[in-house]
């Protein structure tokens, strides 16, 4: 692992106190070229985390605050008539950036949500018949309020699936909270963060992550997990093949962050709650926050072959 990546983690840990695991998960997700969904109550540091990561990774950053009256054009951009030249000129929307923070994505209407999600999937935007590529690398970190809160349009399963991982931050620990309350305002710290790498370097790291080795023994384990979700009566649906691919990609990212050139079962177990919790639904209709618990049950139910 490059030194710069280590610095990114260190910087982020200074901003988000007491959440090293979540920071590493978020980074692993970015390294695996996946989009990240952070779900939690307002005010636990979702936006700050996204912002800190963007600053440290040296990416162009755009924040889109989703509201219920937002239209797709507000994200993608719009063509405006030029009186001087007599033709239309495209004004790119906020989505034309390397890192997008889609804040409170579930407050927008499904129409607007799907405009963003389409861009995430295709890495390009098509308006008025013209297709325009998005910058590379392209990340979306979306935050979402718990769906039981007022004024939310929950993302359907098919769109949740577009996110490689979903993580939760949770309340900070006793000590971390003390540091937070006593320290400087977070926004100030973020604005002072120094970029630790450039976009090109990040692209190279992503290529390296792809090279992380997955052995047949580990594939056995991954398949055992998938099979269990499909055979068990505990879940409404088993994990899809796409979820299986995501699991391996995220595990590669995690192994890379740990400085290993091969994936071991612990890597899979570390990312499994993030990868599986938004894709699994318990048969007994429990709250979404129990997705993590489901994933931990899953880990304990599957023996490592």
Partner 1 sequence: MPASVGTVRIAELEPAMQLNTHLIYGLLICVLLISIPHAEHLPFWVSSLSVMLLVWRTYLAYCNRPLPPRWLLFAVMAGSVGGILIGFHTLFGREAGVTLLILLAALKLLELRSARDATVVIYLACFVIITGFFYSQSMLTALFMLATLTVILATWVHLQSGTLALRPRLRIAGILLLQAIPLAFILFVLFPRVEGPLWGLPQDAYTSSGLDDRMSPGSVGKLALSDAVAFRVMFKDHPPQRDQMYWRGPVLWDFDGHTWTQGRGSFKPPQLDSLAYPIDYTVTLEPQNKNWLFALEMPTQISIPAAMTYDFQLRQNSPVTSRERYSAHSQLGYRANAEEDPRQLQRALTFPYNSNPRAQQLAREWHNNSTSDEAVISTALAYFNREGFHYTLSPPQLGANEIDDFLFGTRKGFCEHFASGFVFLMRAAGIPARVVTGYLGGEYNDLGDYYIVRQSDAHAWAEVWLRRRGWVRIDPTAAIAPARVELGMAAALPESDSAALPLMVRAQSPALINVPSWLVNVRFKLDALTNKWNLWVLGYNPERQFAFLTRMGMEEITWQRMAFAMMAGMALLVGFFTLLMLRQLTVRNIDEVQRLYLKFCRALAKKGIVRETHEGPQDFAARAAQIKPQFAPAIADITARYAALRYGQSDAMDVNGIQALRRAVAAFKL
Q: Which is nearer to partner 1, 187 or 237 (CB)?
A: 237
Q: Find how far residue 304's CA is from the centre of its chain.
A: 27
Tokens of 198: 């450039």
Site string for partner 1, 228-267 (x = CB under 8 A): --xxxxx--------------------------xxxxxx-
Q: Which is nearer to partner 1, 159 or 281 (CB)?
A: 281
Distance CA 62, CA 147 (A): 24
Question: Please, what sign has the CA dihedral across residues 46, 134, 120, 11?
Answer: negative
Q: Which is nearer to partner 1, 132 or 296 (CB)?
A: 296
Stretch that binds partner 1, among 66-74, 134-142, 181-189, 210-218 (CB under 8 A): 210-218
Stretch that binds partner 1, among 21-29, 128-136, 171-179, 217-225 (CB under 8 A): 217-225
By CB under 8 A, tell whether 302 contacts partner 1: yes
Stretch that binds partner 1, among 17-25, 129-137, 164-172, 293-301 (CB under 8 A): 293-301
Q: Which is nearer to partner 1, 88 or 213 (CB)?
A: 213
Distance CA 258, CA 1 (A): 8
Taking the complex as a whole, the smallest distance from the CB of residue 260 to partner 1 amounts, in Å, to: 9
Distance CA 214, CA 262 (A): 6
Question: Please, what sign has the CA dihedral across residues 228, 289, 253, 296?
Answer: negative
Taking the complex as a whole, the smallest distance from the CB of residue 2 to partner 1 amounts, in Å, to: 20
**218, 247, 257, 280: residue in contact with partner 1 (rule CB under 8 A):** 218
By CB under 8 A, tell whether 223 contacts partner 1: no
By CB under 8 A, tell whether 217 contacts partner 1: yes
By CB under 8 A, tell whether 208 contacts partner 1: no
Taking the complex as a whole, the smallest distance from the CB of residue 279 to partner 1 amounts, in Å, to: 17
Distance CA 137, CA 92 (A): 17
Instruction: Read off the DSSP letter of residue 238.
Output: P
Q: Which is nearer to partner 1, 199 or 304 (CB)?
A: 304
Taking the complex as a whole, the smallest distance from the CB of residue 305 to partner 1 amounts, in Å, to: 6
Tokens of 248: 């391996």
Taking the complex as a whole, the smallest distance from the CB of residue 244 to partner 1 amounts, in Å, to: 17
102 phi and psi angles, rounded to 5 deg: -95, 95
Taking the complex as a whole, the smallest distance from the CB of residue 74 to partner 1 amounts, in Å, to: 45
SS3 87: coil
**126, 215, 223, 287: residue in contact with partner 1 (rule CB under 8 A):** 215
Per the CB < 8 A criterion, the answer to whether 279 and 301 are in contact is no
SS3 163: coil
Distance CA 170, CA 17 (A): 12
For the chain, the residue count is 305
Tokens of 272: 């499994």
**88, 148, 171, 213: residue in contact with partner 1 (rule CB under 8 A):** 213
Buried/exposed code over 48-73 (b: 16+ C-beta within 10 A; e: otherwise) = bbbbbbbbbbbbebbbbebeeebebe
Taking the complex as a whole, the smallest distance from the CB of residue 229 to partner 1 amounts, in Å, to: 10
Q: Which is nearer to partner 1, 38 or 218 (CB)?
A: 218
Tokens of 201: 């370097």
User: Using CB under 8 A as the criterion, which residues of the chain lie in contact with partner 1 when the complex forms?
Assistant: 213, 215, 217-218, 220, 230-234, 261-266, 269, 299-305
């Amino acid at each position: 692992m490059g030194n710069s990546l280590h610095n990114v983690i260190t910087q982020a840990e200074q901003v988000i106190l007491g959440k090293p695991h979540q920071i590493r998960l978020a980074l692993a997700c970015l390294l695996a070229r996946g989009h990240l969904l952070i779900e939690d109550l307002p005010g636990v540091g979702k936006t700050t985390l996204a912002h800190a990561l963007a600053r440290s990774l040296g990416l162009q950053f755009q924040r889109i605050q989703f509201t219920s009256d937002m239209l797709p054009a507000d994200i993608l951009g719009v063509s405006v008539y030029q009186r001087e030249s007599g033709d239309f000129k495209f004004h790119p929307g906020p989505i034309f950036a390397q890192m997008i923070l889609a804040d409170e994505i579930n407050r927008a209407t499904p129409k607007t949500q799907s405009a963003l999600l389409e861009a995430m999937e295709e890495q390009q935007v098509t308006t008025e018949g013209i297709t325009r590529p998005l910058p590379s690398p392209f990340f979306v970190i979306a935050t979402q309020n718990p769906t039981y809160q007022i004024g939310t349009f929950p993302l359907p399963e098919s769109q949740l699936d577009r996110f490689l991982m979903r993580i939760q931050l949770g309340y900070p620990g006793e000590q971390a909270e003390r540091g937070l309350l006593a320290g400087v305002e977070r926004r100030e710290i973020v604005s002072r963060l120094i970029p630790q790498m450039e976009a090109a370097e990040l692209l190279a790291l992503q290529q390296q992550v792809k090279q992380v080795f997955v052995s047949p023994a580990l594939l056995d384990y991954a398949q055992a997990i998938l099979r269990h979700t499909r055979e068990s009566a505990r879940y409404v649906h088993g994990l899809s093949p796409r979820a299986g691919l995501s699991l391996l990609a995220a595990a590669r990212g995690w192994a890379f962050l740990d400085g290993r050139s091969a994936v071991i079962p612990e890597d899979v177990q570390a990312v499994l709650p993030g990868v599986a919790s938004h894709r699994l639904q318990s048969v007994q209709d429990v709250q979404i926050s129990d997705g993590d618990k489901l994933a931990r049950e899953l880990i304990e139910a599957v023996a490592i072959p």
